[in-house]
Amino acid sequence: MRRRSGQPSDLITKINVTPIIDVALVLVIILLVTAPLMSVADLPVNLPQAHTRDAEDERNVSVTLTATGELAVDERRVAPGQLTAALRQRLAEPGAQNNLVVLRADRDLPYSQLRQLLADTRAAGAKRVAVATRQQTEVSR
């Protein structure tokens, strides 16, 4: 027998990861396709109708209190002592008894004035009350 003289044979020392990656990607695709199907039950459900935010805003009653103490119910200015009566009259309109009353108070007002505004709103017969805020657009550090 004759031996080859020269270079020794090259051994394969690296692992071929291409088939492993192919199998892993196929499994991920299968998981992504089947996961949404498994999260919903096959029960018949009659979902409620949704209304748009614009329609909700039209039915809201807005009470505005400025930093100088001026009051308004919707677009109508009101004297501070007449808020309860004006709001009661607005909520007495047909279809307005369950409207959301949105309080828009200046951020520099003392909390005692906001608390009094809430009390006057409840005294006028408002069943649903919310305080309007501005959404923060930047993260403060």
For residue 14, tell me if it sits in a domain: no
Cα distance from N-terminal residue to C-terminal residue, the chain: 81
Domain assignment of residue 136, yes or no: no
Structure tokens at 58: 């039209």
What six digits make up the tokens of 53?
């935010």
- Residue 113 sits in which domain range? 53-131
Residue 60 lies inside a defined structural domain of this protein: yes
In a domain, 86, yes or no: yes
- Res. 139: pLDDT tops 70: no
Residue 87 lies in a domain: yes
Cα gap 72→87, rounded to integer Å: 10
Residue 113: give its domain's CATH number.
3.30.420.270
Judge whether 121 lies within some domain: yes
> pLDDT tens digits for 2-41?
555 556 677 778 888 899 999 999 999 999 988 877 765 5
**Domains of the chain: total:** 1
Inside any domain, residue 12: no
CB-based contact 91:99 (threshold 8 Å): yes
Q: Could you tell me the pTM of the whole model?
A: 0.55
Dist. CA 115–CA 110, nearest whole Å: 9
pLDDT tens track for 26-79:
999 999 988 877 765 555 656 556 554 544 455 788 888 888 888 888 888 888
